[in-house]
Amino acid sequence: MAQRLLLRRFLASVVSRRPCPGRWGPLTSRALPAPQCGPGDLTGTPSQARSLYTTRVCATTFNIQDGPDFQDRVVNSETPVVVDFHAQWCGPCKILGPRLEKMVAKQHGKVVMAKVDIDDHTDLAIEYEVSAVPTVLAMKNGDVVDKFVGIKDEDQLEAFLRKLIG
């Protein structure tokens, strides 16, 4: 938690600083240009610009922090939610998690994904009868409408999401 707070403060200070004119290119929503510096000077000579690209995975996937967070972001959500119950020590979870995140991101906001670590939130795992990991629930309007346990391939995940979206 302290690391997250420090990171947030650092990012706020970096974003609030105004760069020197001509030193940094204009920022866009999809790319972050690198500084234009030569090998031995700090005055800024033109060079090949590098870009940092972002993905939408972060916008559609979130980690559950506690019970009230689950209630607010999953049960009370108007958007259908895929809930991934996983564990850090679970091998199949490490395969399914990124695959599921990618498939959810392809839905462009029609569905979101909540990740629940069963070691941190055993109460939620017990409440939703999670007996093995990975367990994935499909929730719509606060109700569980579908569920699977274990690893699935991309075609099966796509069918699972299509059924949830309707």
Active site residues: 90, 93
Q: Strand order of the sheet with strand 81-86?
A: 61-63, 112-117, 81-86, 135-140, 143-149
Other C-beta atoms closer than 10 Å to the C-beta of 38 total 11
Gap between the Cα atoms of 159 and 114, Å rounded: 19
